[in-house]
Amino acid sequence: MAVTKAEIVDMLFETMGLNKREAKGVVEAMFDHIRENLAQGEEVKLSGFGNFTLRDKNPRPGRNPKTGVEITITARRVVTFHPSQKLKAYVNGSEPDNG
């Protein structure tokens, strides 16, 4: 079972005593602000967690995998996430620190 906004809201309710409405608002605000900044072409850097960066991709030839028909994949802008050193170390079992 995946973690969703509902679990994050419950966690804030339990650890901080924010009421459910406030907690839901704060959780949504966080993801909305990250999304809006990226939509405006601005990168988002969350120290200790990771950076959301934008990449401009050139057009390239592609192929419909079902029909085999060749098409050009248009130039596009995509979001990539780069986990911080701290997060990478943490998921590989090292102790968290306060850095």
Partner 1 sequence: MTKSELIKNISAQYPQLSVRDIEMATRHMLDYLSDALAEGERIEIRGFGSFSMHVRPAKQGRNPKTGESVMVPEKRVPHFKPGKELREQVDYPENTSGKA
Residues in the site for partner 1, rule: CB under 8 A? 1-5, 8, 11-12, 15-16, 18, 22-23, 25-27, 29-31, 33-35, 37-39, 41-50, 52, 54, 74-81, 83, 87-88, 90-93, 96
Residues 6+ apart with CB under 8 A from 52: 34, 38, 43, 44, 45, 46, 79, 80, 81
The H or E element that residue 10 is part of is helix 5-16
Q: Phi, psi (5° rounding) for residue 84?
A: -70, 165
Distances (CA, A) of 80 to 30, 36, 63: 18, 15, 23
Q: With respect to partner 1, which residue has the nearer C-beta, 41 or 68?
A: 41
Whole-number minimum distance, CB 54 to partner 1, in Å?
6
* Nearest distance, CB of residue 69 and partner 1, angstroms: 19
Q: Least Å distance between CB 64 and partner 1?
A: 17
Give whichever of 31 and 62 is closer to partner 1, judged by the CB atom: 31
